[in-house]
Amino acid sequence: MSAADKAGKKAAEKTGKPGSLTLGPVLFNWPAETWRDFHFRIADEASVDSVHLGEVVCSKRQPFFEKYLAEVIERLTAAGKEVVLSSLALVMTERERQDVSALAEVAGMLVEANDVSVAAALAGRPFVIGPYVNVYNEGSLGYLAGLGAVRACLPAELPAATIAILARQASVEIELQAFGRLPLAMSARCYHARSRNLHKDGCQYVCGDEPDGMEVDTMDGKPFLTVNGTQTMSYHYLDLLPEIGALRRLGVDRFRLWPQSCDMVAVAELFRGVLDGRLDGAEADARLAELLPNVAFANGYIHGRPGNALVDEGLATG
């Protein structure tokens, strides 16, 4: 175990809080039964503390899994996991505004606001700020905390130095995205439908053809981004396993894993092992590479580099 990881473990033991793991909402258009069974397994086997449910990308997908939502919530809650309901990231239609109003009325559960209009609807009750809301400074974070935010999952592009500044304020829990394809941008247009010469209103749900998104290459054939319906995502999978110890010492409370069509139970176990001090970050990183041999990883943003870079050095926080 490295000196940095030993220091992180010592700090965690002193506070009694090794850090928490969050499983984000499924961002892709998975078959409803696949979505249900995935969360059943998470409930029974995964070492995560919180699980987010809900449609974030496209409201047209929501009815497919909604019939299973109550039993998934019951299964997760019975397993001792906190359930958070995630909102859409782009609210445009009257129907979607009505869904936001209904979400704001749900009692007894935290709701994640992925659009500032949702944060406004949730004002006065505890809620979570999602990574789609641009929180880049203490002023923004303080304002949202004043509305009732108790936790904030920060945007992926923030470097460690900025995260350290935000984490020093203690009014909300700080969560970072730590694994999986990163959500980068949303659009009113559906890229997936356009790629099949279909209109958005008649998309035929072609986004379901790729369970981890449709990969996009540059003009010279290099993989660059991923399309998921109306969403642009990274091609690379984020991997912050080697940085977990340093980020904990900066004051980061939680780490979010984005669901992919891989063994997410095994992925969660690696992150849990590092948080608990049972695994060295480098060792866990090597095991992750073995678990996903065909995946390209990146961690550039946290190091202040381009997001698709893979940086093998300590974090610069000054």
pLDDT score for 239: 98
pLDDT score for 49: 98
Strand partners, 183: 233
DSSP labels, 20-75:
EEEEPPP-S---HHHHHHHHHHHHHH---SEEEES--S-GGGHHHHHHHHHHHHHH
pLDDT score for 16: 47
pLDDT score for 171: 87
pLDDT score for 272: 98
Query: Over the stretch 125-135, which tens digit does the pLDDT of each residue have?
Result: 999 999 999 99
Owner of token pair 């019951």: 74
Instruction: Determine the Cα angle at 34 with ends 177 and 110, to 5°.
Output: 45
Name the average pLDDT for the chain: 92
pLDDT score for 170: 66
pLDDT score for 7: 36
pLDDT score for 314: 81
Query: Over the stretch 237-289, which tens digit does the pLDDT of each residue have?
Result: 999 999 999 999 999 999 999 999 999 999 999 999 999 999 999 999 999 99
What's the mean pLDDT in 75-80? 98
Q: Delineate the domains of the chain, giving CATH numbers in brackets.
A: 3-182+236-303 (3.20.20.70)
pLDDT score for 3: 36
What's the mean pLDDT in 222-249? 95
Kindly tell me the burial class for residue 278, based on how many C-beta atoms sit within 10 Å of its own C-beta (0-12, 13-18, 19 or more).
Answer: middle
pLDDT of 207 > 80? The answer is yes
What's the mean pLDDT in 139-147? 95
What's the mean pLDDT in 195-221? 91
